[in-house]
Amino acid sequence: MTIDLRIKDPSNALLAHSKDVLNKALTGDLNDWQALLAENSEIDGLSLIYSHHDNNLMQITLDERGRPSLSWLIRHSRSSTSYRRGAHSNTDLVLSELWRNLQRKITILLEARSRDLPDEGYALYFTEELSWCIVFSYKFSGNAAIARVVHYTKSPQSVYDIFALPLMSDEHTRTVIKNVVRSKSKVIIHRCVLIEVDRYFEDSVFGPTIDTLYLNEFVSRLFSKLLNIIEHKHVTAAMEIGCGNGLLTAGLASKCSNLKRLVAIDTEVQAIHCTTRNVQNVLKKNNGISFYGVVGEFTGDLLSNKFDIVLSNPPYLPYRDNVIEGDENSQRIAIKGTELIEEMVKNSPFYLSPDGALIIVYSDLAEQELKDSIPKGMIFTSANDYMGYRVLFDLEDVMDNPKWLSFLISRGLEHDSSSSVYHHRLKIGIITHEKSANLREKSISQAMIDL
């Protein structure tokens, strides 16, 4: 049984309604379009635009080769033109309203964190379904933020990183990436959550990576469907293991309306500080949540309480004892080995509530270790399509270790010889109690229809 992140079924109620609203907007009736964008905080409208086959819309949103492009969004973000009915086409009005709504959401998130952020910098906004990564430059004037689109990437395979520079053919893209990675703060926005990592003082904090975003996207879509497997009305206790920057923890705090207890665990003190700072703004909106940041390694006997949902983006690269050499560091610890996966899975019966779920993102390279760890009384379900989500493999520690690299290739690491680039595939795993299997299978089946 599998779940695919992508919306495939056109009978989906929200999708069908949204398409009707867009069709009306393209005839000049913008009221419902404005309401749809404003009232659904996690919908940015871009996926809807690019699934539509209106000829006028396609002329603007596709490039000369017929490929999806966001050049129009850059133009709107730089323009001071006020788009008015009668003076511009209905298509321009639809796209202008989408930009205005997106800009409003971005600036609200930035302004809420104005005390934490530098006066100017960059923010990476990942759209719904991870269809795009949009790079915003921002600048504060007092507490008010001004945001402009400076670049975009279709179907991002990684979070912007120096590693990606050799893959970029044009100088503008290379310059944007350099500016982004040199800025004081790493700012990531996804599913209405803003995460900030101070590159100067929190250099040991891991992520957010594309793995984290993939898991956050998956969980966001599950919560939006109110599935019984993690029905948010019943989630009162939640935990993230290996919180790093805190994106998943903050996401839980923002999505679980009845959450009472939230725990984040990490071995790095800086990670707990970073997570706490990123979660605080969400907690202001829900002061009924008790938050606990725990510095230390996760062990099965650490927890005496039960949790309704546990999330983790753990280290997932298998290795043999003779392939790891050199001193340990926090970044290497964050990616190597499958010990944490095995520890979490083996102890899941003791910390999951009767209907609780452990949801993790892992690499297909470690699927064997994960499945071998499932204890008696628990069931594992793969929650995405069989092939998984193909992403760049950009870990320097592995590239510098021929033995480790060779071992991972034997496990299925994909090598593109024409560009010397490696890829692997991310997957989502769900572990639950066997006795709740019938309920879970029903929920997952419904997810396959709705998602």
Give domain limits for the chain. Answer: 13-190, 210-450
Nearest to 150 by CA among 138, 168, 166, 167: 138
CB 263 within 8 A of CB 234: no
**pLDDT interval class at 82 (50, 70, 90):** low
220-267 per-position pLDDT tens digit: 887 776 444 445 567 899 999 999 999 999 999 988 888 999 999 999
Give the model confidence (pLDDT) of 176-210 as tens digits. 888 888 889 999 999 999 999 998 899 888 889 89
Identify the residue with better confidence: 175 or 111: 111
9-15: long-range contacts, CB 8 A cutoff, minimum separation 24: 9/449, 9/450, 9/451, 12/450, 15/48
Give the pLDDT of residue 230: 47
**237-241 and 261-266 as β-strands: parallel, antiparallel, unpaired?**
parallel
Percent of the chain scored above 90 by pLDDT? 43
Q: Are 300 and 376 in contact (CB under 8 A)?
A: no
pLDDT value of residue 415? 86
Q: What is the CATH number of domain 210-450?
A: 3.40.50.150
CA distance 294 to 313: 17
Q: Which residues pair with 429 in a beta bridge?
A: 360, 382
Question: Can you give the pLDDT at residue 223?
Answer: 78
